[in-house]
Amino acid sequence: MKWAKKMERFDVIVIGGGPAGLMAAGRAAEAGRKVLLIEKNAGLGEKLLLAGKRRCNLTNALQDQDVFLSRYGARGGEFLRHVFSAFGPRETIAFFNRSGVRTVIERGSRVFPEKSETQDDELGGSQRVLECLLLYCKKGGVRFLRKTSVKALKLTGRGGPECRVDRIITNAEELSAERYIVATGGKSYPKTGSTGDGYRFACQAGHRIVKPTPALVPVRTKETWIKLANRFNLRNVKLSAAVNGELVDERFGEMEFTNFGLSGAIVMELSSFVTDWMERGETTFIIDMKPALSQEKLVARIERDFEKFSDREFGRALVDLAPSAVIPMILELSDVPPEKPVQYVSPEEKEDLAFLLKNITLTLNGLWSFDHAIVTKGGVELTEVDPKTMRSNLCENLYFAGEVLDINGPTGGFNLQNCWSTGAVSGSAV
Ligand X SMILES: Cc1cc2nc3c(=O)[nH]c(=O)nc-3n(C[C@H](O)[C@H](O)[C@H](O)COP(=O)(O)OP(=O)(O)OC[C@H]3O[C@@H](n4cnc5c(N)ncnc54)[C@H](O)[C@@H]3O)c2cc1C
Assign 3-state DSSP to the chain and report helix, strand, coil percentages, each to 5.
40, 25, 35
Query: Judged by CB, which is closer to ligand X: 126, or 334?
Result: 126
Going by C-beta distance under 8 Å and a sequence separation of 6 or more, which residues neighbour residue 144? Answer: 17, 36, 37, 39, 44, 137
- Nearer of residues 18 and 315 to ligand X, judged by Cβ: 18
> Is position 221 an interface residue for ligand X (rule: CB under 6 A)?
no
User: Does 375 contact ligand X by CB under 6 A?
Assistant: yes
Task: Answer yes or no whether residue 392 interacts with ligand X by CB under 6 A.
Answer: no
Minimum distance from CB of 115 to ligand X (Å)?
15
Does position 52 bind ligand X by CB under 6 A? yes
Site for ligand X contains 353 (CB under 6 A) = no
Which of residues 13 and 163 has its CB atom nearest to ligand X in the complex?
A: 13
How many CA atoms, within 13 angstroms, populate the side-chain half-sphere of residue 194?
32
**How far apart are the C-alpha atoms of 283 and 199, rounded to whole Å?**
30
Identify the bridge partners of residue 15 per DSSP, sorted by sequence position: 38, 182
Q: Whose Cβ is closer to ligand X: residue 57's or residue 213's?
A: 57
Range in contact with ligand X (rule: CB under 6 A) among 34-42, 88-96, 100-108, 259-267: 34-42
Sheet holding 110-113, edge to edge: 59-60, 110-113, 103-106
Stretch that binds ligand X, among 92-100, 135-143, 154-162, 180-188 (CB under 6 A): 180-188
**Residues 35, 48, 133, 163: which binds ligand X (CB under 6 A)?**
48
- Give the Å distances, CA to CA, from 183 to 2, 21, 36, 50, 324: 25, 5, 13, 18, 47
Least distance from ligand X to the Cβ atom of residue 127, Å: 13
Burial of 249 (0-12, 13-18, 19+ CB in 10 A): middle
Q: Does 426 contact ligand X by CB under 6 A?
A: no
- Asked if residue 403 lies in contact with residue 415, where contact means CB atoms within 8 angstroms, the answer is yes
Neighbours of 343 (CB within 10 A): 13
Phi then psi for 429, rounded to 5 degrees?
-70, -35
State which residue, 188 or 263, has the beta carbon closest to ligand X.
188
Beta carbon of residue 175, minimum distance to ligand X (angstroms, whole number): 11
Q: Residue 269, interface with ligand X (CB under 6 A)?
A: no
Among 39, 269, 305, 406, binds ligand X (CB under 6 A): 39
Q: Tell me the closest approach of the beta carbon of residue 362 to ligand X, in angstroms.
A: 24
Q: Count of residues binding ligand X (CB under 6 A)?
A: 38
Is 21 among the residues that bind ligand X (CB under 6 A)? yes
Using CB under 6 A, pick the residue from 127, 194, 258, 271 that binds ligand X.
194
Q: Does 93 bind ligand X (CB under 6 A)?
A: no
Amino acid at 351: E
215 binds ligand X (CB under 6 A): no
Among 127, 213, 271, 415, binds ligand X (CB under 6 A): 415
- Would you mind telling me the total number of residues written for the chain in this entry? 430
Return all residues near 101 (Cβ < 8 A) that are at least 6 apart: 113, 114, 125, 128, 129, 132
**Taking CB under 6 A as the rule, does residue 57 contact ligand X?**
yes
SS3 state at 176: strand
- Asked whether position 175 contacts ligand X by CB under 6 A, the answer is no
| Minimum CB distance to ligand X, residue 1 (Å) | 21
Element (H, E) at 232: none
Nearer to ligand X, 20 or 353 (CB): 20
* Binding flag, residue 25, ligand X (CB under 6 A): no
Beta bridge partners of 262: 219, 257
Task: With beta carbons less than 8 A apart as the criterion, state whether 216 and 411 touch.
Answer: yes
Helix-helix angle 414-429:89-98, to 10 degrees: 80
Please give the single-letter amino acid code of residue 144. Answer: F
For the window 132-151, what string marks contact with ligand X as x by the rule CB under 6 A? -----------------xx-
The reply to whether 402 sits near ligand X by the rule CB under 6 A is yes
Which listed range, 186-194, 293-301, 315-323, 378-386, lies at the site for ligand X (CB under 6 A)?
186-194
- Candidates 12, 18, 27, 218; binder of ligand X (CB under 6 A) is 18
User: Which of 155, 175, 302, 374 is the binder for ligand X (CB under 6 A)?
Assistant: 374
The Cα–Cα gap between 389 and 13 comes to 16
Start-to-end Cα distance in the chain = 28
Q: Which of residues 23 and 289 has its CB atom nearest to ligand X in the complex?
A: 23
Contact 287, 241 (CB under 8 A): no
State the Cα–Cα distance between residues 91 and 156, nearest whole angstrom.
37
- Give contact residues for ligand X (rule: CB under 6 A): 15-21, 38-41, 46-48, 50-52, 56-57, 149-150, 183-185, 188-189, 193-194, 197, 374-375, 402-403, 413-416, 419
